[in-house]
Each structure stands twice: as structure tokens, then as C-alpha cells.
Amino acid sequence: MAGFRLVGQRDTPSVAERLAGQHVLLTGVTGFVGEALLHLMLTEVPDVRVSVLVRPKGSTSGAARTAKLLEKPVFADVVAAAGGVEALIDARVAVVEGDLADVPALPADIDAVVHCAGDVSFDPPVDEGFTTNVIGVRDLLDRIDEAQAASGREIHYVHISTAYVAGRRRGSIPEAPVEHDVDLETELAWGLGQRRAVEDQSRGADLLTKERKKAEKEHSRAGLLTAARATEAARRQWVKDELVRIGTERARSLGWTDCYTFTKAMGERVVERWAAGSTPGAAGPRRASIVRPSIIESALERPHVGWIEGFKMAEPLILAYGRGELPEFPAAPDTIVDIVPVDHVVSAIVAVLAHPPEPGDVGYFHVSSGDRNPLTFNMLYSSVRTYFDHHPFTAGDRGAARLPEWRFPGARSVERLLSTSEKAWKVADYVVGHAPRSDRARELARKLHQQGRRLEFLRRYLDLYMEYATAELRFSDKQTMALFTSLSEEDRATFAFDTSVVDWPRYFIEVHCPAVTAPVRRLDELRALRKKPSGTSLREVGSGGEGIAAFFDMDGTLLSSNVIETYLWVRLRELDGGERLAELGRIASKVPSLVQAERRSRSDFLRGVYREYEGARAADLDAVADEHLTDHILSRLSPDAVRRIREHRAAGHQTVLITGAIRPLTRPLRPLFDHIEAADLAVDERGVCTGFLASSPLVGESRAAWMRSYAAEHHIDMKASFAYADSHSDLPLLEAVGNPVAVRPDVPLYRHARRSHWDVADWASPSGSVRALDPGVRT
Amino acid sequence: MSRPGFVLEVDDRTPPMVVHEGLGFRLESFPLGTRVVYPPESIPAVPDVDEAIQHALLNPLDSEPLPALLKAGMRLTIAFDDLSIPLPTMKAPDIRGRIIEAVLTMAAEAGVDDVKLIAANALHRRMTAAELKHIVGERVFRSFYPQGDLYNFDAEDRDELAHLGTTEKGEDIEISKRAAESDLLVYVNVNLVAMDGGHKSVGIGLASYKSLRHHHNAKTMVHSRSFMDHKHSEMHHSAWRMGRIIKDTVKVFQVETTLNNDVFPSPFGFLQKREWEWSVKDQASMLGVRRGLAVAPPKLRHKMFHDLRSVYGLTGVNAGEVEAVHEKTLEKVHAQHSVEVNGQSDVLVMGVPYLGPYNVNSSMNPVLAACMGLGYYFNSYRGQPVVRKGGAVILYHPLDEGFNQLHHPSYVDFYEEVLAESTDPAVVGEKYEQQFAQDPWYIHLYRTSHAYHGVHPFYMWYWIAHALDHVDEVIWVGGNRKAAARMGFRAATTLQDALEMASGTVGTSPSITYLHNPPHLLADVR
């Protein structure tokens, strides 16, 4: 096979001829670049046999995933020409099932391998970064060695890296090995060991104590198990964040932007050593090329104009800008954004594939635009703005979004703006979280939730891109251009990768922006069609009630009342004017401590209130409840709640009331429920209340436990059942069923309901009822 | 002698008129030429109430004197009208209590032991102890209530109902068993308006749903023209058929009373005077009340109005045989309420006040407001409706008081579910009446709480069937648009807008009549 020479090859064979009869193995074909590459190989390099290494996903085999890939519209022509997907696979695309974490043996007769697979996330946990970008490469190369040894053929390895392996260097970057003296083995061993270390650290008492206290403060009313679950979730999150943080810090301490570019650079080093033949057991130098694209975006021409799969680097930002949610950007207006269309990248890869270097002499190729056809942030901004000026997002009911005007105030002041907003948000969030329950608080919580998500988005992207946005790098692409000019006229047309031809404003306005906004617009249209009728519509209760139950909380859900209020109603009946005032005063003085107890734990609170019943006669209590509290309860009953309960009954469901209130108070509601689980006051042998409860009040997790035992006893399918409650302490009750509904929730429950996509009902309590605490009836 | 009612024609010297609208009122300038119908001023009250009662009981019409009917060992039941009349509630002592005391005194003298007092509330809500006490008076309450001898009628207590057969038209007669099985049933009524009393007292007040459904339905009500005129009311014909059969089973001694028009005490006294006759003091209190209402929160306004107690004068009390008594009663009622009106007009304007029969100590929800305007006030005529067939009715009420969940639970569901589907009285009755009437939850609330029966909102809707059938357009001035639309009506901000909206039906210069009501009036349309 002819070696690659830089000049004077006008009459050399075309790319297709050079590759004719070869067997090329591709990895990462399910990814963006891999898919484009496969497409190009199948359409423009007819006499090549391709093998693809595809990882089975769940129960889907690699072959099935490949078939699915080939069913995509872009492959329609190739598939039609071959006479169907299966025919195409049989004829040209062999599937090698396998994973880069455990590379399988490769077909023995391969001539070249193109390794496109890799983690594209910029902030992988450090161990994952090393596993994918270093170990994966090393194992693959070992397998190539095996194949080479088996067949005796020389295999050309094309490694797809990234131009940003240059890290935090500045200025012109040559197409050459990255200069550094990092000890690969040490870093690798360190990186792989981090998961273990961090996991161990996360189980330390310090961290766990901190997280547990935080969780208990937030969830104690719901119960300790809920708090424990929250603690464990927080620990897992901490491990994830910590691994990312460690990776980023190590990368920066060595001069890279983040763990991604750092491990990619390490991966290149592995390739270089392999090519030089300096790995153990090497038979001698091998052929290897490294292709380093910069930021890859939608296609200029191939497979079609604007072709893009999934969201890459710039898209979330472009979309956020179009929605008016990206107020500034931390870049200088003249900083270069190095973008290349995906078809240029894959064309370059194929050209490199067709021109293997000499063994031991690694070829480096930057596929980039910044050096010869620079795109500045200002150009990018004004192009995107022009696009959205002409084609605004109009899906909402408020017309086109207002487009922010960027002034490029510099990274520092953008950071300041963001961190000020974040602080303000945290304060607001704390205040709303502690505000008394009201429609206004809930509305504020909803807005804050939305704003919080936006801020989170901004924080994540600005943190990620800050490095790239301020990177003043110029990637020299001399060798790539030399390769390009060495091609024949036809090949230069077929495998175009001269990035200087890109007209950036046109590219953004006519190609890229329409391509990335198209799916969003489609989604918006669908959403507009599906627009729910106004008002809170709960899901239907359905029919066929066998084995379905509906669980209801009482105070706050069915009626607007609370135990202190009902207690006063009961006690004040028995007293005359002066005593009433004294009793009111006494209770008022206890309210702060009761509120404290309520914040801490619902059961402490209930016990505190029920202590006040000490000395009351149980029979009197029943009589008072029947005679006077019926009105009190019924006049506070929400009509929507009653209607819903009756709907459940009509559907044949069992209706169950679960409450921490004492049993006499539930008497008026008996006809609505199949079962009422309420608190019983303990009485002594004379029938006088002791001020204690007969058993622990049913709150928080004990409700969920009770529900499960009730369900088991009555053959209830909890997945199909419903639960209705209003406060964060009822979280376990709601989580126990398949159809939870938050009714006029407090802010913490509201937040949870939003996150979990639960129904939120707004059952208004009757406004006309007399709310006076004094039960004295006027005549 | 008090001045009779009259019809004023608005000219350019006419001051703005008081128009009631829920918990408040406004001063409205009507277009020139509008007829304003004023009720007669209060007719003289009897000089001595107790003497009048004694006289009536001792000299009954077509009956032996009461003492002659009372014997030791007999079973005596005294039934009386519930809190739905009079409106507003009478300042204590209530006339019913005074009569009941007189009856009980005579019964005690005769040695009658077995006495029960039953509030004839039919499907209305159970009254509270305090409300019962207000009607019967402290002494009677104390003597009978604790033992359970004074109680609300329970139309769902199957064991306490007696089926007395059917009328010649096949109508079931089912009333209180205790009343039916008594040796004497004394009924004490307040004949506030012409529709009350007569055979309606026992035949409806003590009847169950099984009996009521025969006349409380859309078909009957469309043909009750009007139900303020029992001789032309299908509903009353049915009640009369039933009453005659009840009379054969149990001896009924009917005591009917009539009241004058002294509805508004101070500081609302100006509300029963004619606007151009307001004194400086009246004007001052009008301004004061208006200011107060403007700044008061809804709850306080509700209290201001609902705490109002009227100092009615008793204009007559008659006792004896039902029909003879009722004839005398109606004479008095007509003397107090009747106003002669010449011919119909294109547009009828009415202000719906804060109070109707079914929201005493409660709230005037949209359904009740519609019933008050299109049921009671619209039907307040003899001869023919004040508005022509195909005309327009303009009502004033904000329709924003909401529902009282304790008193009107089935109304909420009626409004949310039934009216959302149809507002045609015949259609909703056909499709939903049974379901609401037999709903166990509503029955539970009716029996144990203070809720109107599940079927009651349907009756409100039947009440307006005649008006809906008769007029083409109903517009609420100042009404909540959503509530008006739910009930099939429209809302306007001002009278001018309402007339503009009605112009499609009645033209641009319609004849307009405004019923200046309350105090109560009965338009005698010739």
C-alpha cells in the first residue's frame, strides 16, 4: 500500500480506489460523527466492507441497533439500492457485538479501524473519563494487535480525538503531539481509584451527619425513613459531583480545561506509544492517524443540509437565546469559536483513512475553521439574533420572546450577575419555603421553581463553556489542507473538508439554526394542540373499582380547619364569657410552641394538642361533636372534595379517611367513607380522657405502613389507587399509591409534586362559612 | 288610613330610585316613562295582639271554638311555619310563638298531655335550636325542646311518615305520621305573601318528597300563573286536592296570620319610603348606610343585613277551617300588597335583595338569586305577568355570594354539574331529579346536619320555569358574568347596557316597568 505523501500526487488514485477492497471497522456508529461517517462510507466508498462495533443496549442486541440505525431516513437511498436493511447488512455492514469496556475480538481480516466512540460529556466523573478515553483505547489497540498478529496484515488505526486536547494553552496550536510530561500510568491508576476513594469518603460520619441533619430538618414531618432516603440520595449525588470536581481540578492543575480534554489527551498518548511500538509485546511501529475536530455542528451538505442528530454543544445555548433566556455570555466579542460542519469532519476522516502514514509516524489532522476562516462570537451572536429576529419562537401565548441584547461585558461580570441572581434566588426560595400556606406562596413557589431551573441551566452551561468561550486558540490545519489539496478534483468535491468555504452568517441563518430549532418547533406545535382546558383537571377516577382504593387526608385536604381550632370549638362550648377569654388567652400563649412542634414533627404537635383534652369526659366529647361540631366540620368541607369522594364511590372504589384528628370529629363524614382511621383518646375507667392517645397518632410514614397493611387485608392494588393530601408530612401517604394528588399543597409538597409530575388539585374551601371562633350562636 | 300602592311614571323631576342588589342597593335613574310600581304603605295593625289571638281561637270560622276541640287524653300536634317566613325574620317575640302559647294554655286547661310541636319545614333545612327558640319563644322552647317534643319534621324518616292515599289525579299524599294520627292538628302560619297558607300549610309543609314531586315539577310550575294566586296555580290546585283528603283523615285547625309591610327598621327605614319623600334624616342615614356598605368587607355586610329584624305589625289573625280562614287571610294580604297595574310592558326590572326564603342566616347563592328574581318576584302578579310574552327581564344582583356548604351542599353540585349541562327546567328534572333526591349523602346531610334536601335546588329551578317560558331575555345588571352564563343568562354592567342588549328582543324604546320591591307587592295586572 502506498504511503501518504504531501505533495505532487495529482495523478494518484482516488480515495475510493485507494480504499477499494478494504475492510474497515468503525466504532461509535450510533453517535453523531459515527453515523455520518458510516453514511459517507456507504454512499461514496462503494467497494469497502464495513464492520461496526455496537454495544447491546438493554435487551436490544448490537445487530438490532444497527438495523434500527439503518432504517433512519438518511440511509433510505443506500438501503433502497441494496434492497433492504437486511440485504445491506449482509452485503456490507458486519456487526461486531461488543462494548469498549470489554472489547471483543475483532474480525481478523480488517485493514483499518476508525475509533469514533467516546464519552462526549465534558464533565464525566473522573473514573469514567479514564475508562472510556484511555482504557477503552488501550484495549481496542490490544485487540488490533491480536488481529494484526492473526492475519499478518498491517492495520491503520484512525483515532478521533478533539482539537481541545490542547487544553488551556493559548495561541497557535500545531498538528503535533500535545506537549506535556504527565505520567500516564500514575494518573490512570489515580483516576481509576477515585470512585472507590470517594465512595468510601462519602460514607464517612462527617458528610453523612451533615446530610442527615439537612434531610431531617426538611423531611422530619414526613418521617425518618423519608429523611433517610433523602440522605442516601444526597450522598449519591455528592459522590457524582465530587468525582466530577476531582477530575476537573486535576485536569486544571495539569493545564487542561476539564476531565474530558485531559483524558482525551491521555488517550492520544496511548495511541502515540502504540504507534511508536513502545508498548510491551509490540512487534514494531504501527500506522496511526489522529484526527482532531473542533466543535462539530450540523452538516453543510451531507447527508443533507442542516443534518444533525441530538443536541451538541451550542444548541442548548442557541435555543435558550431564542427563548430569551440567555441574557449575556461570558465571552469577548472577538474571541474565535471554532466550529466545523459534521460532513467536513467525516470527509476528512475518510481522506485520512485512505492515506495511512508510515508506521511509527503518527499523522495529526486538525479539522477546524479558526485559523483560516475565523468565526467570532460577535458574528455568531449577530447571525443567531438575525435568525431569531426573522423566525422567532411563537409557541407561547405571549407572542415572540424578547431577544436579549448581548454587550459582552466580560466573563467576570457575567459570573457576578449569575451569582447575584443565584443568591437572590436562594433567599427567595428559603422565604417561600417557610411562608405560611397560601395561594400566593404556591404561585411564588411555581415561579421560583421555573426560575431556579433557568438559573441551574445557566450555571451549568456557563461553567462548562466558560473555558471554551475564553480559550484563545488557533488550531493550525496545514496538514489537513495539504491532504485536501493532494486529492483529485472529483474527490475534493465529494469529500469536501476545506472549512474556509463556509460562509458563517449564511451557515447559521440558513442551515444550522433552522435545523436545531425544527424539532423544538414541532414539539411546541404538538403541545399547543394538546393544550389542556384551563383549570385544574384531575385525571379521571376511571371505573372498574375492584381492588382500588382512594385514601384521603382530612385537615387541610377535605376541609379548612385544624386541630387547635376544633379543640377550641369543643372546649369553648362548655365555658362562659370570662372563662372563654381565659381559655383563648391560654391557648394563644401556647401557639408558638405548638407551631414549633408542628415544624418538627406532626405527632409531637398532635400529642401537644391532645394533652389539652385531659379531664374531658369521652361521652361528653361525643355529644358535643354530634351536636355542634357537625356544623363546624360540614360547613368547612370543600364541595370539590366531596364530589371527588363521591365519584370514587360511584366508580366502586373503597374510600378511606386517614387522619390524625380524634375520632369524634370524623363522625359527620362517616357516610362518605368505607373506613375511617382516626386517633382515639385514651380514657380511664371512669370514662375521663387522660390527655394521652390510645395509640400513636397516624402521621407521616406510619400512614404509608398502615395503608400497605390495609391494602394487603382488602386486596387493594396500590398502584391503581389514589391518595389525596395537602402537606409535606403526607409525602409517604402520597408516595404509597400510583395516583397521588396534592390538594392545595404547602410549598415543600408543591415543589415535590411539580418535580414528580403529580396532579395538583385546588379544592377551595367554602368562603361563605362563618369562621368566627366563638361558637356562641346568636339569636 | 295608609296610602294605597301606586304606579309612578318617571319624569324629569323623579329622583333616582332605590334598587336592591344583594348585600346592598343602588340608586338608579330610570329612562323617562318607566313605570315604577310601589306597594301600599303599611296597613294598620291590630291594637292588641293577644286579644286578637284569643278572639280568633274562641271564634273560629266554620269550626267549634278551640277549647271545645281539646279534651284530656287526646293527641295534639301543633305544626308551624319554619324560618323561611317571614322575611326578614320577625323581631322577637314571633307571632307564631304567641299563638302557640295561647293554644298550649288552652290545651293545659283542658288537660291535654300528649302534645308535640313540629316545624313544618318539609325539605327545607333543619332549624337549629336557636332558630326554633326564636320562633316558639323561650318558654315553649324550654318546656318542649329538651324532651324532644319540639322538633323539625324529617321527611326522610320512613317510620314517621303516613301515606294517606292518592287524589283523584293519582297524587300520593304522604305526610308526618304524628300529624296524621293526631286527634287535632293545629297549624300556625305566617301568611307573608299570597302563595303561603291554605292547604299548602299541612299538605306541603309536612309532606315528603313522594308527595311533593307531584306539584313541585317543571310542568306544574309552568302552568302556575301565578303561584301567588292560588286559584290560577296548578301547584295550589294539587295542594288543595291533597288538603281536602287530609281534612278527612285528621281534624285541622288552621291559624293564619297576616303582617303589614313594616319590613325595614331603623337605620334602613328610608328603604320603605318613596324617594322623593325622604327627610333630611332619611337622606343622611341613606348616605351613611351607603358609605358603610361601600367600605365594609363582605362578611360585615352580610352581618349588617342578616342581623336585621323586622318590627311587623299584625294585621289579622284568623282561625278555623282551612279554606274559610284562608279566604279571610288573602283579603288582608291583598289589601297590603296589591297594586293595580295597567297592562303589560316590554321590560320588567327587579332588584333581588339580600334575602329569600332559603338563605335565612345563610348566603344567597346564584341559584337562589335566580329563584328569588324569576321565581318569587316575577310571579308576584295576578291576572297576567307584568312583562309581555317574549319580553325581557332585567335583574339586579351581583351573583357573587357563593354557596354555603353547610346549608346548600346539593346546590353546589347542581350548579357545577347539572346546570353546566342544561338549564332547561324540564330537561334537568327529567335527567337528574331522581338522582339528587335519592342520594344517600344528601339525605344524610338533610337529616343530621342543616342541609336543604338534595332535590331542593331543582325546585328552585322549577320555580323559575314559568318566567323562562314566558320571557325571551334575562339580563343581570352588575352580575358575575360566569355565574350568569352558567345559568343561561347574560350580565351587563349598567341598566343602559342591559337595555341595549335587550334591544334585539324588545326594540330600542321599550316600555319598562320597575317593581319597587321589597316591601312586598303583588301586581294586579289588568
| DSSP line for A492-558 | HHHT---GGG--HHHIIIIIIHHHHHHHHHHHHHHHHHH-PPSS--PPP--S--TT-EEEEE-BTTT
H/E element holding A3?
Answer: none
Q: Is this model's pTM higher than 0.95 or not?
A: no
Inter-chain touch A631–B406, beta carbons under 8 Å: yes
Give the nearest chain A residue to B410 (CA atoms). A639
A51-73 average pLDDT score: 90
Inter-chain touch B416–A643, beta carbons under 8 Å: yes
Dist CA B371 CA B352 (whole Å): 10
Q: What is the 3-state secondary structure (H, E, C) of A212-260?
A: HHHHHHHHCCCCHHHHHHHHHHHHHHHHHHHHHHHHHHHHHHCCCCCHH
Q: Is the CA virtual torsion A270, A271, A275, A276 positive or negative?
A: negative
H/E element holding A438?
Answer: none
pLDDT value of residue A779? 31
**Three-state SS at B448:** helix
Inter-chain touch B402–A768, beta carbons under 8 Å: yes
- If phi > 0 it is left, if psi is from -120 to 50 it is alpha, else beta; for residue A556 that is left
The DSSP annotation for B350-418 comes to EE-BS--TT-TTS---HHHHHIIIIIIITT-EESS-SEEEEEEEEEE----S---TTT-HHHHHIIIII
Q: Are B476 and B397 in contact (CB under 8 A)?
A: yes
Q: Are B250 and B179 in contact (CB under 8 A)?
A: yes
**Three-state SS at A434:** helix
Q: What band does A778 get if pLDDT is binned at 50, 70 and 90? A: very low
Distance from CA of B10 to the nearest CA of A (A): 38
Residues 650-689 of A with CB under 8 A from B: 668, 671-672
What's the distance, Cα to Cα, between the start and end of chain B in Å?
25
- If phi > 0 it is left, if psi is from -120 to 50 it is alpha, else beta; for residue B111 that is left
Chain B touched by A244 (CB under 8 Å): no
Inter-chain touch B128–A777, beta carbons under 8 Å: yes
Q: Are A265 and A133 in contact (CB under 8 A)?
A: no
pLDDT value of residue A436? 73
H/E element holding B40?
Answer: none
Q: What structural domains does chain A harbor?
A: 1-181+256-294+338-371+476-494 (3.40.50.720), 183-253 (no CATH), 314-331+372-471+498-531 (no CATH), 549-761 (3.40.50.1000)
Report the relative pairing of strands B387-396 and B345-351 from DSSP bridges: parallel
Q: Output helix, strand, coil percentages for chain B, rounded to the nearest 5.
A: 40, 20, 40
pLDDT tens string A203-222:
999 999 999 998 888 877 77
Which triple of cell numbers denotes residue B450?
Answer: 342543616
pLDDT tens string A528-548:
776 554 445 677 777 767 889
pLDDT tens string B147-174:
999 999 999 999 999 999 999 999 999 9
pLDDT value of residue A149? 87
Among the residue ranges A135-139, A236-240, A369-373, A575-579, the one predicted with the least confidence is A575-579
Q: What band does A574 get if pLDDT is binned at 50, 70 and 90? A: low
Give the nearest chain A residue to B138 (CA atoms). A779
pLDDT value of residue A406? 86
Q: Are A306 and A511 in contact (CB under 8 A)?
A: yes
Give the nearest chain A residue to B411 (CA atoms). A639
Inter-chain touch B409–A777, beta carbons under 8 Å: no
pLDDT value of residue A188? 93
Q: Are A332 and A410 in contact (CB under 8 A)?
A: yes
| Cα–Cα distances in angstroms (integers) from residue A249 to residues A186, A258, A330, A414, A428, in the given order | 16, 8, 21, 22, 31
Angle at B26 between CA B23 and CA B30, to 5 degrees: 145
Inter-chain touch A668–B404, beta carbons under 8 Å: no
Inter-chain touch B406–A769, beta carbons under 8 Å: yes
Among A219-223, A287-291, A419-423, A535-539, top mean pLDDT goes to: A287-291
Q: What band does A771 get if pLDDT is binned at 50, 70 and 90? A: very low
Chain B touched by A778 (CB under 8 Å): yes
Q: What band does A560 get if pLDDT is binned at 50, 70 and 90? A: confident
pLDDT tens string A697-724:
787 788 888 999 999 999 999 999 999 9
Dist CA A506 CA A128 (whole Å): 39
Residues 163-222 of A with CB under 8 A from B: none
Residues of chain B with CATH 3.90.226.30: 6-41+338-525
Query: Which residues of chain B approach chain A closer than 8 Å at the C-beta?
Result: 92, 128-130, 133-134, 307, 362-363, 401-406, 409, 412-413, 416-417, 440-441, 444-445, 448-451
Residues 6+ apart with CB under 8 A from B114: B73, B74, B75, B76
Please report residues of A whose CB lies closer than 8 A to that of B134: 779
Is A770 a residue whose pLDDT tops 50?
no
The DSSP annotation for A654-667 comes to EEEEEEEEEGGGGG
pLDDT value of residue A561? 66
Q: What band does A272 get if pLDDT is binned at 50, 70 and 90? A: very high
pLDDT value of residue A34? 92
Give the nearest chain B residue to A667 (CA atoms). B448
Please report residues of A whose CB lies closer than 8 A to that of B406: 631, 634-635, 769
Distance from CA of B269 to the nearest CA of A (A): 22
pLDDT value of residue B450? 92
pLDDT tens string B242-253:
999 999 999 999
Inter-chain touch A635–B404, beta carbons under 8 Å: yes
Q: Which CATH class is domain B6-41+338-525?
A: alpha beta
Dist CA A629 CA A86 (whole Å): 76
Inter-chain touch B404–A671, beta carbons under 8 Å: no
pLDDT value of residue A282? 66
pLDDT tens string B226-240:
889 999 999 999 999
| Cα–Cα distances in angstroms (integers) from residue B483 to residues A486, A761, B355, B374, B423, in the given order | 81, 22, 18, 15, 12
pLDDT tens string A88-113:
888 889 999 988 888 898 888 899 99
Which triple of cell numbers denotes residue A777?
Answer: 350562636
Inter-chain touch B449–A630, beta carbons under 8 Å: yes
Spatial CA neighbour of B46 closest among B99, B83, B105: B99
Please report residues of A whose CB lies closer than 8 A to that of B22: none
If one compares A4 and A279, the residue with the highest pLDDT of the two is A279
Among the residue ranges A127-131, A136-140, A181-185, A518-522, the one predicted with the least confidence is A518-522
Q: Output helix, strand, coil percentages for chain A, rounded to the nearest 5.
A: 55, 15, 35
Distance from CA of B122 to the nearest CA of A (A): 20
Residues 6+ apart with CB under 8 A from B407: B125, B359, B362, B363, B450, B451, B452
Dist CA B99 CA B101 (whole Å): 5
Closest to A668 (Cβ–Cβ): which among B129, B130, B449? Answer: B449
pLDDT value of residue A396? 66
Q: What is the CATH number of domain B49-259?
A: 3.40.50.11440
Prediction ipTM score: 0.83
Angle at A326 between CA A322 and CA A330, to 5 degrees: 130
Among the residue ranges A230-239, A265-274, A601-610, B403-412, the one predicted with the least confidence is A601-610
Let me know if A474 is exposed, middle or buried by CB neighbors in 10 A (0-12, 13-18, 19+): middle
Inter-chain touch A769–B405, beta carbons under 8 Å: yes
Q: Are A742 and A760 in contact (CB under 8 A)?
A: yes
Chain B touched by A642 (CB under 8 Å): yes
Dist CA A30 CA A70 (whole Å): 10
A176-183 average pLDDT score: 92
Please report residues of A whose CB lies closer than 8 A to that of B402: 766-768
Is A775 a residue whose pLDDT tops 50?
no
If one compares B374 and A171, the residue with the highest pLDDT of the two is B374
Residues 6+ apart with CB under 8 A from B253: B60, B63, B66, B69, B184, B185, B186, B187, B319, B320
Please report residues of A whose CB lies closer than 8 A to that of B403: 639, 766, 768
| Cα–Cα distances in angstroms (integers) from residue A472 to residues A150, A180, A333, A554, B124, in the given order | 46, 19, 12, 63, 85
Please report residues of B whose CB lies closer than 8 A to that of A643: 413, 416-417
Let me know if B115 is exposed, middle or buried by CB neighbors in 10 A (0-12, 13-18, 19+): buried
Q: Are A31 and A120 in contact (CB under 8 A)?
A: yes
A279-297 average pLDDT score: 85
Question: What percent of chain A is modeled with pLDDT above 70?
Answer: 91
Among the residue ranges A150-154, A189-193, B344-348, the one predicted with the least confidence is A150-154
Chain B touched by A757 (CB under 8 Å): no
pLDDT value of residue A711? 92
Q: Are A103 and A142 in contact (CB under 8 A)?
A: yes
Spatial CA neighbour of B216 closest among B461, B467, B469, B488: B461
Which triple of cell numbers denotes residue B441?
Answer: 349523602
B305-331 average pLDDT score: 95
pLDDT tens string A325-382:
888 888 888 888 899 999 999 999 999 999 999 988 999 999 999 889 999 989 999 9
Inter-chain touch B134–A779, beta carbons under 8 Å: yes
Inter-chain touch A634–B445, beta carbons under 8 Å: yes
A277-295 average pLDDT score: 84
Please report residues of A whose CB lies closer than 8 A to that of B451: 634
Is A395 a residue whose pLDDT tops 70?
no
Residues of chain B with CATH 3.40.50.11440: 49-259
Among the residue ranges A264-268, A629-633, B383-387, B413-417, the one predicted with the least confidence is A629-633
Give the nearest chain B residue to A632 (CA atoms). B406
Q: Which residues pair with B395 in a beta bridge?
A: B350, B476
**What mean pLDDT is reported for chain A?**
85
Q: What band does A768 get if pLDDT is binned at 50, 70 and 90? A: very low
Please report residues of A whose CB lies closer than 8 A to that of B92: 779
Chain B touched by A534 (CB under 8 Å): no
Is B114 a residue whose pLDDT tops 70?
yes
If one compares B101 and A570, the residue with the highest pLDDT of the two is B101
Best mutation target, A633, A769, A773, A774, to test chain B (most B CBs within 10 A): A769
If one compares B133 and A770, the residue with the highest pLDDT of the two is B133
Best mutation target, A637, A640, A767, to test chain B (most B CBs within 10 A): A767
Between chain A and chain B, the number of residue pairs with CB atoms below 8 A apart is: 61
Dist CA B252 CA A134 (whole Å): 106
Inter-chain touch A672–B363, beta carbons under 8 Å: no
Residue whose entry in the numeric block shows the C-alpha cell 366529647 = A621
Spatial CA neighbour of A561 closest among B406, B334, B323, B59: B406
Best mutation target, B406, B410, B412, to test chain A (most A CBs within 10 A): B406
Q: Are A514 and A34 in contact (CB under 8 A)?
A: no
A115-120 average pLDDT score: 78
pLDDT value of residue B386? 96
Q: What band does A523 get if pLDDT is binned at 50, 70 and 90? A: confident
**Three-state SS at B431:** helix
Chain B touched by A709 (CB under 8 Å): no
Distance from CA of A667 to the nearest CA of B (A): 11
Please report residues of A whose CB lies closer than 8 A to that of B297: none
Chain B touched by A777 (CB under 8 Å): yes
Best mutation target, B368, B405, B436, to test chain A (most A CBs within 10 A): B405
Inter-chain touch A769–B404, beta carbons under 8 Å: yes
Dist CA B386 CA B381 (whole Å): 7
**Which letter does DSSP use for residue A265 in this model?**
H
| Cα–Cα distances in angstroms (integers) from residue A174 to residues A164, A170, A336, A364, in the given order | 12, 11, 17, 9
Work out the angle between the directed axes of helices A602-610 and A563-573 (0-180°, nearest 10): 0
Question: What percent of chain A is modeled with pLDDT above 90?
Answer: 35
B207-222 average pLDDT score: 94
